[in-house]
Amino acid sequence: MEQAPPDPERQLQPAPLEPLGSPDAGLGAAVGKEAEGAGEESSGVDTMTHNNFWLKKIEISVSEAEKRTGRNAMNMQETYTAYLIETRSVEHTDGQSVLTDSLWRRYSEFELLRSYLLVYYPHIVVPPLPEKRAEFVWHKLSADNMDPDFVERRRIGLENFLLRIASHPILCRDKIFYLFLTQVFFFYLADSRLKALNATFRVKNPDKRFTDLKHYSDELQSVISHLLRVRARVADRLYGVYKVHGNYGRVFSEWSAIEKEMGDGLQSAGHHMDVYASSIDDILEDEEHYADQLKEYLFYAEALRAVCRKHELMQYDLEMAAQDLASKKQQCEELATGTVRTFSLKGMTTKLFGQETPEQREARIKVLEEQINEGEQQLKSKNLEGREFVKNAWADIERFKEQKNRDLKEALISYAVMQISMCKKGIQVWTNAKECFSKM
C-alpha cells in the first residue's frame, strides 16, 4: 500500500523539558513556587501576562567586568574577562532591596547556557549573545577583545541577553537559567544533539513557511551587515571631517596673533572649531550603542535559522519513518500474495533456492505485522510531535517579530534623532563663528 506523504501543515515541538535541580534559599524566596514546574509550563503561555514574570520578581544585572588570568583545559596560561552577575529581589524588606546572589561568569559560560537553550527549546528563537570579537568597527576603534570600551559594550550586551531570557514567557521559567544566575555549576550537553542542529537535511515536503523564514533570516542578516558596513564607512569619513576642523582652529589662532582689531574674533572662532573637532569622539562612542542594537538582530538571524534547521530535522525523521513503514507494508503484501513488485535480494534468493515453506512465510508476516503496528504508532507520535513543534515555534516567531519591529523602530528613530542633533551642533558652531567674524 502506498503511504500518503506527510502533511507539511503538521507542525512540530518535543515535549517540554522537565527542569533540573531545585532552587535554594535567597533568590528562590523571591520567585517562590511559581518558578517550580518550569518544564510543565505550556508553550502557549500568554505573552502579555507572563513575559515579565522574572523581571517582576528580581532585578538582573551584569554590573562589572574584570580581566583575569588562569589555565585552560590544555593547562596553558590564558587571559580572559569575567563578568559579575547580580540578582536582587524587587520585593522590599523595610523599604530596601536586598542583594540575594552574585557570581562571576566567563563569556564561554554564557555560550554554554545558550547552547543548552538551543537544544532543549528548539521551537524558540533563543536570544543571541553579543559578539565575542569586535566586528563592523570603524578604523579608529580598537578590535581587541580586551579593549576596555569593547569589554564595556559586551558587558551591556550580556546583561541584555539575560534580560531577554528573563522576559521570555518560556525561557524565564527554566531551572538551568535560574541556576546559572545563582550557583557555580556546569551541565553536560550531548554533542550529537548540538551537531544535529547544524546538520542539513533534504526533505521531500518542506514547510513553505519555514523555507520563507530561512530566506528572510538570510536577507535580514545581509541587510543589517551592509547597514553596519555603511555606518562604519560613514563614521570613518565623519571622524576625518570633524578632526580637519581642528585645523581651522589652529589657523585662526595663529592668525589672531598677528592681528590687532581682528584678533579677538579670530581667537574665539578658533576656539569654537576646536570644540567642534573634539566632539566627534563622544558622538561616535554614542553611535556604537546603536550599532550594538543592530548587531543583536544580526545574530538573531542565526537563531531563526536554528529553529528552521530543527524543523527540517524533525520533518526528515517523519518522512524516513513514513518511507520505512511503506516499505514494510509492501513486503508484507508481497509475502501474503506471493508476488514481488520490485527487484530485491530476497526475490533473487527465492528464484535460486526455492520458495519458503508456509510456516516460514507466516512467521515473517507476523514479524512484519508487529513492525508495521509499531511503525504506525511511531509515525502517529512523530506527526503529533511535529504539529506541536510548529504550533509553538510559530507562536514564538510571531512574538519575536513584534519584539524586532519595536526594537529596531526605536533604535532607528533614536539614531536619526542623534544625527539631527549632531547636524544642529554643526550649524550652531558655524553660527557662533559667524558672530565672532561679525564682531571683528
Is residue 429 in a domain? yes
CB 138 within 8 A of CB 188: no
Q: Answer with the residue of higher pLDDT: 27 or 255.
A: 255
Q: Which three cell numbers stand for residue 410?
A: 526605536
Which grid coordinates belong to 208?
A: 513553505
pLDDT band at 409 (very low <50, low <70, confident <90, very high): very high
pLDDT of 238 strictly over 80: yes
Cell of 260: 590687532
Model confidence pLDDT, tens digit, residues 222-237: 999 999 889 888 888 8
Residue 232: per-residue pLDDT:
86
Tell whether 3 is covered by a domain: no
- What's residue 396's pLDDT? 95
**Average pLDDT value for residue range 415-424:** 91
Residue 96: pLDDT band with limits 50, 70, 90: low
Angle, vertex CA 195, rays to CA 191 and CA 198, nearest 5: 155
Domain count of the fold of the chain: 2
Decide: residue 182, CB within 10 A, 0-12 exposed, 13-18 middle, 19+ buried: buried
Output the pLDDT for position 95: 53
Same domain, residue pair 216 and 150: no
- Tens digit of pLDDT for each residue in 106-135? 898 899 899 889 988 999 999 999 988 766
pLDDT of 30 reads: 44
Q: At 99, is the secondary structure helix, strand, or coil?
A: strand
Distance CA 118, CA 190 (A): 12
pLDDT the model gives residue 281: 85
User: Could you tell me if 105 and 123 are in contact, meaning their C-beta atoms sit under 8 angstroms apart?
Assistant: no
To the nearest whole percent, how much of the chain has pLDDT over 90?
A: 30
- The answer to whether residue 213 scores a pLDDT higher than 90 is yes
Q: Is residue 432 domain-shared with residue 284, that is, in the same domain? A: yes
Does residue 134 or residue 151 have the better pLDDT? 151
pLDDT value, residue 44: 40
Residue 411: how many other CB atoms lie within 10 Å: 18
Count Cα atoms within 13 angstroms, Cβ side, for 154.
26
165 and 80 belong to one structural domain: yes
Choose among 71, 38, 31: nearest CA to 55: 31
What pLDDT score does 26 carry? 43
| Res. 27 pLDDT band, cuts 50 70 90 | very low
> What is residue 39's predicted lDDT score, i.e. its pLDDT?
42
**Residue 16 placed within a domain:** no
Pair 81, 127 in one domain? yes
Nearest CA to 164 among 172, 156, 175? 172
* Domain at 427, CATH number: 1.20.1270.60
Do 329 and 378 belong together in one domain? Answer: yes
Q: Which of 198, 226, 244 is the last residue of a domain?
A: 198
Residue 8's nearest CA partner among 290, 207, 264 is 207
Query: Poorest-confidence range of 327-336, 365-374, 391-400?
Result: 327-336
pLDDT digits (tens, 9 = 90+) for 344-378: 555 555 555 556 677 878 888 889 889 999 999 99
Predicted pLDDT at 347: 57
Average pLDDT over residues 393-422: 93
Exposed (0-12), middle (13-18) or buried (19+): which is 377, by Cβ within 10 Å? Answer: exposed
Report how far residue 311's alpha carbon sits from residue 307's, in angstroms, rounded to the nearest whole number: 6
pLDDT at 92: 56
Residues 116 and 153 placed together within one structural domain of the fold: yes
Based on the domain organization, do 228 and 377 belong to the same domain? yes
Give the pLDDT band of residue 138 (cuts 50, 70, 90): low
Same domain, 85 and 178: yes
Q: Are residues 277 and 372 in the same domain?
A: yes
Question: Mean pLDDT, to the nearest integer, of 382-395?
Answer: 93
Confirm if 229 and 139 have CB atoms less than 8 A apart. no
Does 188 lie in the same domain as 287?
no
**Hey, what's the cell of 11?**
507542525
Q: Is residue 320 part of a domain?
A: yes
Check residue 18 and give its pLDDT. 36
Decide if pLDDT at 31 tops 80: no
Question: What pLDDT digit, counting tens, does each position of 252-288 carry?
Answer: 989 999 988 888 999 999 999 999 998 888 888 888 8
9 falls within a domain: no
pLDDT, averaged across the chain:
78
Return the CATH number at 188.
3.30.1520.10
Residue that is last in its domain, among 198, 224, 239: 198
Single pTM value for the model: 0.70
Does residue 380 share a domain with residue 309?
yes
Is 174 within the bounds of a domain?
A: yes
249 found inside a domain: yes
Domain range for 144 is 54-198
Higher pLDDT, 93 or 292: 292
CA–CA dist 267, 249 (Å, integer): 8
Q: Is residue 13 part of a domain?
A: no
Same domain, 103 and 216: no
401/409 Cα distance (integer angstroms): 12
Final residue before a domain boundary, out of 181, 198, 215: 198
Q: Each residue of 284-298: pLDDT tens digit? A: 888 888 888 898 999
Mean pLDDT of 185-191: 48
